[in-house]
Chains A and B, each alone.
Chain A
Amino acid sequence: MTTGTETAVTTQVYRVYIKATPQAIWDAITQPEWTERYGYGGRVEYDLRPGGAYRAFATDEMKKARAEMGGGPVPDVIVDGEVLESDPPRKLVQTWRMLMDPQSEAEGFTRLTYEISETGPGVSKLTVVHELEGAPRLALFVGGEMESMGAGGGWSEVFSDLKTLLETGHGMRG
Chain B
Amino acid sequence: MDNAASRLGQCAVSSIRAMPISLSASAAPILDVQGLAFARNEEPVFGPLDFALDRGETLLVEGDNGSGKTTLLRVLAGLLQASAGEIRFDGQPLAHDALHGQMVFLGHQPGMKNDLSPCENLAFLSGLYGAREGADVGSALAQVDLAIYADTPLRMLSAGQKKRAALARLALLPGELWLLDEAYANLDRRGIEMVNALVASHCSRGGAALLTSHGAVRFADPHARHVRLELAA
Q: Are the chains A and B members of one assembly?
A: no
- Residues of B whose CB lies within 8 Å of any CB of A are none
Which residues of A are in contact with B by a Cβ distance under 8 Å?
A: none
